[in-house]
Amino acid sequence: MADGEGSVKVVITAEEQRALDSGAYHLISSEAAEDLADRGGVTILDVRSPQEYGDGHLRDSLNMRYDSFDQLPPELEGLDRDAPVLAYCRTGNRARKTCAQLINNGFTNVYNMDKGILDWAGVTVAW
């Protein structure tokens, strides 16, 4: 849902909040996210719009809008549910909702980059 200024409002349900409180959710800084990505073995999800993604995204990230997670996308079905998954968006709000949805689908090691790509100082890739 968008407000009058084009921002996206994300409402976290009680079920999603329980998922975030489960211990599987980790809110990390952009610096810690960069370290996690550099170590490898992490699936990186950019949950912004395709246009935002095209303007610049983290290398090796998959673009999947957060509102497409009502059911787990087929691209994520085969992933190891215990392997790390890093989600990010513009400011962290859409990624937080995505993290809850991932946890509710059995993922146990889910990271949200606090403050989103706006706080990212590392390299981005643009199309």
Report residue 16 CA to chain centroid gap: 14
| Cα separation values, 56 from 23, 103, 109, 118, 124, Å | 31, 27, 25, 11, 6
Domain boundaries, the chain: 24-119
Residue 36 confidence (pLDDT) above 70: yes
Residue 2: pLDDT band (50, 70, 90) is very low
Q: Which CATH class is domain 24-119?
A: alpha beta
Give 42 or 122, the one with higher predicted confidence. 42
What's the pLDDT score for residue 72? 83
| Distance of alpha carbon 89 from alpha carbon 16, whole angstroms | 18
Catalogue the active-site residues: 89
